[in-house]
Amino acid sequence: MTAPVIAYNTFVVAVGVAAVGFAAGVVGSLCVLRKRALVGDAAAHATLVGVACGFLVTGRRDLATLLAAALVSAVAGLGAMVLLRRFTRTRDDAAIAIVIGVSFGLGITLVSGIPAWGYADSAGLEQFLLGHTAALTAADATLLASVACVAAIVVAIGLKEATLVAFDAAFAAASGWPVAVIDYLLVALVAVMVVAGLPAVGAVLVTALVVIPPVAARFWTDRVGTMLLLAGVIGLVAALVGVAVSAMRPGLATGPLVVLAAAAIFGVSFLIAPERGWIARRIRARTLADAWSRGLALDACLRAAGAGDGTFTPVDVEAAVAGDRQGGRRAGAEAFAALVRTAAVAPVAGGRDAWRLTAAGRALAEERRRRLDAWARVIEHDPDDAREALTIDLPAPGAVLGRTGAGS
Amino acid sequence: MILLADGGLLGGHADIHAWAMATAAVVSASCALVGTLLVVRRMSLLGDAIGHAVLPGIAVAVLAGGRAGGPLVFVGAVMAALVTVWLTRGLRAGGGPEEDAGAGVVFTTLFALGVVIVSAAPPGTHIDPSCVLHGDLTFLPFDTVPVAGLPVPRAFIAGAITFSGLLAAAVATWKLQVFVAFDEAAARAAGLPVAAVTFGLLVATALATVASFDAVGAVLVVAMLVVPAAAAELLTRRLHTMAAVAVALAVVGACVGYLAAWRFSTSAAGMIAVVLGLEYGVAAVLAPGDGGLARVWGRLALAWRVAREDRLAAVWRAEESGGERGPATWRSLLERCAGWWLRADGSLVHTADGWRLSPRGRRDAEMIVRSHRLWEAWLGRHAELPLDHLHPPAEWVEHHLGAAMRQRLEAETGGRENDPHGREIPPEA
């Protein structure tokens, strides 16, 4: 924001591109949930053929014409992909790769050839490769914003059906929903958003606009509606950042900047999101492992308490924990320290390095023993029912996980 | 090359064009070789991802003083490819997105990073943003090193070394590659180093990609990796034949594509991808066994046989029930054609009281009706279907049962003489 006043045109373009970013995030969420994340990539690479053909056929360079042609070729690319899957032995992943490679090759051939074939007024077509918002006019931006609004409204209307198909296509089909039609509509919407994102992000990277925001939003929520809105907002912010930075540094194409902004949001989401984020997962895993080790230590104490004079040394307990597959010397020491903190074990008065279970500790260990035995009986008696019970009413994880170490 | 130089097909600078074409051919062959394994292991999209993602590695290596086709660039690209795979897997293991969405996040991000590094690079650096997208074969032949007194383009040497290395590695580990490609779980259970094989394939993909980078750029490399291999897969049934065919298709595609690009004065890399796509299209149509033409032909032949056999059986049944329903009552085009054919080959003969089966026609018709009724009898006995559900499946199956199968069916139905509807099963001829 070095310029004191933002030019009107820049402002309108920013609004238009932001609207596209929002709608792309919303549509992309459904696509990612349906596990069709890379379908957009095939459509995106095929758009270049349309851009070039649109120019060759009409001789015009206005955005509406080129984007309409791009949409036709994107749909044709997707159609070719469907045909390959349907009528050849080629597998799905190779079919996508073939459409990406060959259609982009054809696009490059046309775009590179056009100047040599005597079309003087062809400058600017290569801006569709990596995206360039500097050349957009206010009218272009209005067009993009309208397309984005229509796409968002279509999603709002069909959200229930699309969600159903995304989460349980078999159930949707059995309930009488036309799954194939809904799928085709979804893919068509993705093609529309890819085409709308083309001027700002470019054919090579526009797939990121429909993949990264949804994947980032997924970390924060388990609700479809929230995810869609969040993905939309992330796409919007990324688009705005991209437009702003590229306006300040004219040498840089907009597309990569939009993608990097979205990727930064993704990275932050991956790390710090509550519940699903990496840090939260690490903490949970750590808590679980600690509970497990504590359980093993408690078992060892109880065993020692029942033998000999009922005392034990920390080294015995630590060895019992460390001997476990998941344990380790450090885990043993920490587990014993935790038992000391909770006053489950206490030093024997006068003894140099002898410890015993306190009354509270013994009660805790016996309760754990009892629960483990009960679970062992249930599992032995009916493993399937036990598994079901486990998923319905999960007891303290330490208690269950410790079973393998403490039992037998 | 001699032919091109003498024939003047490319006008002047024939040696330059020949070197460019040879470079395109050798990098294309490297990609096809690696791509064969990527395609059969369903890792085509990983090839795409690595193609994009090597860009930041190459860009950083160039900024650090490496030069195109030099060892530093190869190291940078391999590092970037490994980072891609590591990040994609790491994201999923860390609770992130599914593999393809994760790959979508990682490779677009790395590619974007690469483009920004290239765009922001100081002028004079040997890397051009537009080359990132579609490479440039034109100037490669001018960057030469002398080999035995002959100036040989650096890119060709890098490509040739890459191809030889990949070929040697493939030959040395071929059995292992085949085993892992077709049954990864069994290979792992047999104690083979599956992880190392996969790791090696990723490195090989990165090497083939970076060797092709100057010629075709980071995006079109996916066409060279996947398309010849997918075409070869349609044409052959054995992995080593597939690899050989893929390499051959890649070399032909590179040469034809280069010439076509020169003829139409456009991007050679784009045109090579288009020619490879055409090769795939031809393979998909002409492949023996299950190509488009073979399928259409097979279906037509089957439809035609079914139509003829149905007509024969219809006449036989009409005779059995005492009526006469000869070709005169057949309405649809297919039925009438079948009627014409049967008359022409002497299965139906015209007698005083209408159309009758000739002895040969009767024998053929009886085998069809026999197949039909044996199948109904078998279904009635073993599948516990109600009576009115027996006819439709038998109507399908009757055209596909041979003598041996009929014999088995007869044995398994206890050699009964009537079908579940009470009609007689004709005896075997």
The predicted structure's pLDDT at residue A78: 93
Instruction: Using CB atoms, pick whichever of A38, A204, A214 lies closest to residue B45.
Output: A38
- Contact map slice: B 69-98 vs A, CB within 8 A: 91, 94-98
Chain B residues in contact with A106 by the CB 8 A cut-off are 270, 273-274, 277
Question: Are A105 and B223 a contacting pair at CB < 8 A?
Answer: yes
Residue B39 CA to residue A88 CA, distance in Å, equals 14
Count of domains in chain A? Answer: 2
Arithmetic mean of pLDDT, A285-298: 85
Give me chain B's average pLDDT, please.
Answer: 85
Residue A190 CA to residue A171 CA, distance in Å, equals 24
Question: Are B112 and A38 a contacting pair at CB < 8 A?
Answer: no
The predicted structure's pLDDT at residue B240: 92
The predicted structure's pLDDT at residue A264: 96
Nearest-CA distance from A372 to chain B in Å? 30
Residue B306 CA to residue B293 CA, distance in Å, equals 20
Which one-letter amino acid corresponds to residue B235?
L
A305 φ/ψ angles, rounded to the nearest 5 degrees: -65, -30
Q: What pLDDT band is residue B217 in, cutting at 50, 70 and 90?
A: confident
Does residue A266 sit in the same domain as residue A313?
no
Closest alpha carbon within chain B to A98: B227
B357 φ/ψ angles, rounded to the nearest 5 degrees: -80, 135
The predicted structure's pLDDT at residue B346: 84
Q: What pLDDT band is residue A251 in, cutting at 50, 70 and 90?
A: confident
Cβ B219 vs Cβ B51: under 8 Å: yes
Does residue A284 sit in the same domain as residue A269?
no
Nearest-CA distance from A200 to chain B in Å? 13
Residue A96 CA to residue A89 CA, distance in Å, equals 13
pLDDT over 60 at A392, yes or no = no
Write the CB contacts of B311 (distance below 8 Å, at least 6 apart in sequence): B327, B330, B335, B338, B339, B342
Does residue A252 sit in the same domain as residue A332?
no
Write the CB contacts of B61 (distance below 8 Å, at least 6 apart in sequence): B72, B73, B75, B76, B77
Which one-letter amino acid corresponds to residue A175?
S
- What's the residue count for chain A? 408
Is A249 in a helix, a strand, or coil? coil
Cβ A144 vs Cβ A20: under 8 Å: yes
pLDDT over 60 at B5, yes or no = no
- Is residue A408, in this structure, part of any structural domain at all? no
Residue A203 CA to residue A190 CA, distance in Å, equals 13
CA A27 to chain centre: 14
Packed helices B44-63 and B194-216: angle between N→C axes, nearest 10 degrees: 60
Instruction: Using CB atoms, pick whichever of B48, B94, B100 lies closest to residue A270.
Output: B94
B24 φ/ψ angles, rounded to the nearest 5 degrees: -60, -40
pLDDT over 70 at A4, yes or no = no
pLDDT over 60 at A3, yes or no = no
Question: Are A211 and B104 a contacting pair at CB < 8 A?
Answer: yes
State the Rg of chain B over Cα.
32
Q: What pLDDT band is residue B272 in, cutting at 50, 70 and 90?
A: very high
The predicted structure's pLDDT at residue B423: 82
- Ordered by where they begin, the domains of chain B are 2-287 (1.10.3470.10), 295-412 (1.10.10.10)
pLDDT tens digits for A207-240? 999 999 999 999 999 899 999 999 999 999 999 9
Arithmetic mean of pLDDT, B206-229: 90
Between A350 and A174, residue with greater pLDDT? A174
Does residue A232 sit in the same domain as residue A378?
no
Greatest C-alpha distance within chain B: 99
Which residue, among B106, B226, B256, B296, would best test binding to A if mutated, counting the most A CBs under 10 Å from its CB?
A: B226
Q: Where are the beta strands (DSSP E) in A218-303?
A: none
Residue B415 CA to residue B407 CA, distance in Å, equals 9
- Contact map slice: B 253-292 vs A, CB within 8 A: 261, 264-267, 269-274, 276-277, 280, 284, 290, 292
pLDDT tens digits for A13-42? 889 999 999 999 999 999 999 888 888 899
Both structure tokens of B68: 């195109």
Q: What pLDDT band is residue A406 in, cutting at 50, 70 and 90?
A: very low
**Count of CB atoms within 10 A of residue B285's CB?**
16
Chain A residues in contact with B97 by the CB 8 A cut-off are 32, 37, 215, 218
Question: Are A105 and B277 a contacting pair at CB < 8 A?
Answer: yes
- Is A85 within 8 Å of chain B by CB? no
Is A323 in a helix, a strand, or coil? coil
The predicted structure's pLDDT at residue B91: 83
- Is residue A406, in this structure, part of any structural domain at all? no
Q: Where are the beta strands (DSSP E) in B353-413?
A: 354-357
Residue A300 CA to residue B162 CA, distance in Å, equals 59
The predicted structure's pLDDT at residue A311: 81
Arithmetic mean of pLDDT, B323-330: 64
Chain B residues in contact with A96 by the CB 8 A cut-off are 44-45, 48
Cβ A109 vs Cβ A78: under 8 Å: no
Nearest-CA distance from B93 to chain A in Å? 10
Question: Are A112 and B277 a contacting pair at CB < 8 A?
Answer: no
Between B135 and B238, residue with greater pLDDT? B238
Q: Which residue has the tokens 């140099």?
A: A352
Does residue A291 sit in the same domain as residue A250?
no
Instruction: List the single range of A208-212, A225-229, B119-123, B425-429 with lowest mean pLDDT.
Output: B119-123
Cβ A383 vs Cβ A366: under 8 Å: no
**Which of these three, A211, A242, A273, is where a domain ends?**
A273
Beta bridge partners of B147: B150
pLDDT over 90 at B29, yes or no = yes
Arithmetic mean of pLDDT, A129-140: 84
Does residue A249 sit in the same domain as residue A286?
no
A274 φ/ψ angles, rounded to the nearest 5 degrees: -70, 155
Does residue A269 sit in the same domain as residue A296?
no
- Is residue A354, in this structure, part of any structural domain at all? yes
CATH number of the domain where residue A288 is located: 1.10.10
- What's the residue count for chain B? 429
The predicted structure's pLDDT at residue B256: 96
Cβ B49 vs Cβ B103: under 8 Å: yes
pLDDT tens digits for B327-365? 666 778 888 888 888 888 888 887 776 778 888 888 988
Q: What pLDDT band is residue A390 in, cutting at 50, 70 and 90?
A: low
Residue A251 CA to residue B258 CA, distance in Å, equals 32
Question: Are B233 and A211 a contacting pair at CB < 8 A?
Answer: no
- Contact map slice: A 194-213 vs B, CB within 8 A: 204-205, 207-208, 211-212
Nearest-5° Cα angle at A173, A170 to A175: 110
Nearest-CA distance from B205 to chain A in Å? 15
Give me chain A's average pLDDT, please.
Answer: 85
**Count of CB atoms within 10 A of residue B63's CB?**
17
- Nearest Cα neighbor of A242 from A287, A200, A279 is A200
- Is residue A115, in this structure, part of any structural domain at all? yes
Does residue A84 sit in the same domain as residue A209?
yes
- Is residue A84, in this structure, part of any structural domain at all? yes
pLDDT over 50 at A1, yes or no = no
Packed helices B14-40 and B221-235: angle between N→C axes, nearest 10 degrees: 60
- Contact map slice: B 331-360 vs A, CB within 8 A: none
Both structure tokens of A327: 């344990």
Which one-letter amino acid corresponds to residue A146?
S
pTM: 0.82
- Is residue A78, in this structure, part of any structural domain at all? yes
Nearest-CA distance from B355 to chain A in Å? 42
Chain A residues in contact with B115 by the CB 8 A cut-off are 130, 253, 255-256
- Is residue A291, in this structure, part of any structural domain at all? yes
**Which of these three, A244, A273, A302, is where a domain ends?**
A273
Write the CB contacts of A394 (distance below 8 Å, at least 6 apart in sequence): A400
Is B350 in a helix, a strand, or coil? strand
CATH number of the domain where residue A263 is located: 1.10.3470.10
Between B181 and A132, residue with greater pLDDT? B181
Q: What pLDDT band is residue B231 in, cutting at 50, 70 and 90?
A: very high
- Is A257 within 8 Å of chain B by CB? yes
Residue A269 CA to residue A258 CA, distance in Å, equals 17
- Is A284 within 8 Å of chain B by CB? no
The predicted structure's pLDDT at residue B319: 80
Both structure tokens of B207: 């090497």
- Is B109 within 8 Å of chain A by CB? yes
Packed helices B154-172 and B194-216: angle between N→C axes, nearest 10 degrees: 160
pLDDT tens digits for A76-120? 999 999 999 888 889 989 999 999 999 999 999 998 888 888 776
- Give the strand pairing for A355-357 and B144-147: unpaired
Between A243 and B148, residue with greater pLDDT? A243
- Nearest Cα neighbor of A70 from A25, A39, A104, A97 is A104
pLDDT tens digits for B35-78? 999 999 998 988 888 988 888 998 888 888 777 667 888 899 88
Between B416 and B276, residue with greater pLDDT? B276
Q: What pLDDT band is residue B7 in, cutting at 50, 70 and 90?
A: very low
**Which of these three, A273, A304, A321, is where a domain ends?**
A273
Does residue A288 sit in the same domain as residue A250?
no
Which residues constitute the domain of residue A61? 2-273
pLDDT tens digits for A351-367? 667 888 888 888 888 88
Does residue A238 sit in the same domain as residue A293?
no
DSSP code per residue over B10-38? T-S-HHHHHHHHHHHHHHHHHHHHHHHHH
- Is A278 within 8 Å of chain B by CB? yes
Does residue A41 sit in the same domain as residue A135?
yes
- Is residue A375, in this structure, part of any structural domain at all? yes
| Top-confidence range, A302-311, A340-349, B144-153, B221-230 | B221-230
Does residue A181 sit in the same domain as residue A211?
yes
